[in-house]
Amino acid sequence: MTHTELETCITQYGTAIYSFCRQLTQNRQEADDLYQDTFLKATELSSKINYKDNPKSYLLSVALRIWKNKKRKFAWRMRIAPMHPITGGLGETAGSYESSPEDQVLKKEEAALIQQAVGNLPERLKIPILLFYMEELSVSEIASVLTIPSGTVKSRLYQARKILKKELEVILDEKNK
């Protein structure tokens, strides 16, 4: 992949990669770092990326590998010398300009509830859900990103949907009462 093709990938898929990073990390600063590290690694590996294949899928898998490595390093360091991590949540969601302020507030609350529910999923279920719904990857593309069989991806999507449905029904029922 040439540098112009890489720049094209950044302009085409940059927003999607960044939003995926935000969902993974649940923190703006960590998402910024992950996003930058992803494209730095893509620059390093530009000779290995085939632009004709699915570069978005490849970039998502690079971001995922970097994030997993950082989590693994952090867990190892916590075993050696425990420290308190800086945490932050997602506070921003896009609202519609055409709806009333009440509708915008309700949409933001629902989006926050959904983000929280997805964030509470175990990592093995959260990542396929994010890739499927947020990045709109197919089951086979998710399988190649995660290097697992497509049947496993389908199973994890089913399990995650089941958990989310149960959790969101309880939350929304409490909210409506």
Q: Residue-wise pLDDT tens for the chain (177 aa)?
A: 677 877 888 888 889 999 999 988 888 999 999 999 998 888 888 777 776 778 888 888 889 999 998 888 888 777 776 665 555 444 444 443 456 787 778 788 878 888 888 888 999 999 999 999 888 889 999 999 899 999 999 999 999 999 998 888 876 676 666
Whole-number Å distance between alpha carbons of 37 and 42: 8
pTM of structure: 0.61
First-to-last C-alpha distance (Å) of the chain: 55
120 phi and psi, to 5 degrees?
-80, -10
Q: Would you say 121 and 156 are in contact if contact means Cβ atoms under 8 Å apart?
A: no
Domains and CATH numbers, the chain: 3-80 (1.10.1740), 101-176 (1.10.10.10)
Q: What is the pLDDT of residue 84?
A: 55
Q: Which residue's structure tokens are 């149960």? A: 166
The count of other CB atoms within 10 Å of the CB of residue 153 is 24
Counting Cβ atoms within 10 Å, is residue 89 exposed (0-12), middle (13-18) or buried (19+)?
exposed
Those residues whose C-beta lies under 8 Å from the C-beta of residue 153, and which sit 6 or more positions away, are 128, 139, 142, 143, 146
Q: What is the pLDDT of residue 125?
A: 93
